[in-house]
Chain A
Amino acid sequence: MQESTFNELADLALRNSGQHFAPTKSYLMDARLSNISRRESFATLDDLVQCLKARPNPRFEQEVAAALTSKKTSFFAERETIEQIVTHALPQRLKLSKSGILRIWCAGTSTGQEAWSLAMRIREDVGSPLASAQIEIIGSDLSTDCVETAKRGVYGHFDVQKGLSIHRLMTNFNRHDNGEWEIKDDLRETVFFRRQNLLNPASDLGGFDVILCSNIISSLAKPAKRQVLETLSKQMLPDAYLFFGPDESIEGLSSSIKPSRDMRGAFIRTSSDSATAAA
């Protein structure tokens, strides 16, 4: 890949998703754009970039930007955070809820495993107060392809064997004859997916009791980190909880949110102008 191609693609990623690429990560661009490149019959990424420059196409540019994001995920990848949400954050929110409705946003959920994992874990709490709550989970991602995969809820042999116990697999999936496994219908009733660029306002999603945004912030350039934190914090209902990946830091990036004193690993809003579009 020519240096100018790397620079063009890095700029494109920054503009469209806020993602920061160091020059040492050019191999990630090669890997993540290989499918698009093959589909469009480009011999090299240099050709792809030349085409984008010669015939600007915002839709294709967005698709390239989405393809450049990490798709790495697995079921129960953030196991401790899911436990914290189900055993502490949601019961706490339920105590304060007048409607009995709790809304969760998995922001940047890639192909949906995180949102489905949360739904599975919540459903296991049969005897807890959560069993009587009406819980809605929204999963969002920048990539239309990822959102479509998440909506289909059909996963391959290798996907369902990483992070899922055999009991969870048998309880929550039906097996197809071709060896793929599909999420059962009853689990689908509470989980919804849509495309969302976290750099843009998400006010039409409404307010949330819990937001989970793992392994997104750490991949972004600093101004984009601030913008995404703004987007997320605006959708937090009063006293709602926001969780990031376990190794992610937001120190010095936002004056709108701060670590929760009561909830390990969670963040809360500092100001009172949180989302009012309560469910």
Chain B
Amino acid sequence: MKHCLIVDDSRVVRTVAGRIIQDLSFTVSEAAHGAEALELCRKDMPDAILLDWNMPVMNGLDFLRALRREDNGKDPVVVFCTNENDSEHISEAIRAGANEYIMKPFDAEIVESKFSEVGLV
């Protein structure tokens, strides 16, 4: 079973996204900010990461840049999931190494479609 790490400072979003992603046959773990996510990745690199942008301690973009510098840090498929929905933010995320981008609000169909685009389902 594939493993997805959900990184979002909102517990509600983590719970909702977690249920959707579990239904796609993933095991799910959670982190509330980028620094916590980086710690978890160093212990157990996930197959996929659903990543919010604006979070305390370390934001999503800084986390992604740090992740891609880690050993095996290029392996996880990273899907941003954020309220930052303008073209500039999307371009910046792709340049930093994001594989897909979900604009909030989202539903199960969008998550499945985006995961499908990057070969996760």
Contacts and interface: CB of A to CB of B under 8 A. Distances in A.
B60 to A, nearest CB: 15
Interface size grouping (class) on chain B: 20 to 34
Interface string B27-41: 000000000000000
Contact of A166 (B100, B105, B106): B100
Contacts, number: 36
Interface residues of A, number: 13
A12 B49 CA distance: 51
Nearest to B116: A163
Interface in B63-118: 85-87, 90-91, 94, 98, 100-103, 105-107, 109-110, 113-114, 117-118
Contact of A175 (B87, B109, B113, B118): B87
Interface string A145-183: 000000000000110011101110110001100010000
A165 B100 contact: yes
Contacts of A157: 85, 103, 105
B17 to A, nearest CB: 14
A158 B110 contact: yes
A179 B85 contact: yes
A174 B90 CA distance: 12
A148 B5 CA distance: 42
Contacts of A169: 90
A69 to B, nearest CB: 22
A179 to B, nearest CB: 6
B8 to A, nearest CB: 17
Given A166-B100, A166-B101, A161 B90 contact: no
Q: Which 7 A-B pairs have the closest CB atoms?
A: A166-B101, A165-B117, A161-B110, A162-B113, A175-B87, A166-B100, A162-B109
19 contacts: A157-B85, A157-B103, A157-B105, A158-B107, A158-B110, A161-B103, A161-B106, A161-B113, A162-B110, A162-B113, A163-B113, A165-B118, A166-B90, A166-B100, A169-B90, A170-B90, A170-B94, A175-B86, A175-B87
Given A165-B118, A166-B94, 5 more contacts: A158-B107, A161-B113, A162-B110, A166-B114, A175-B87
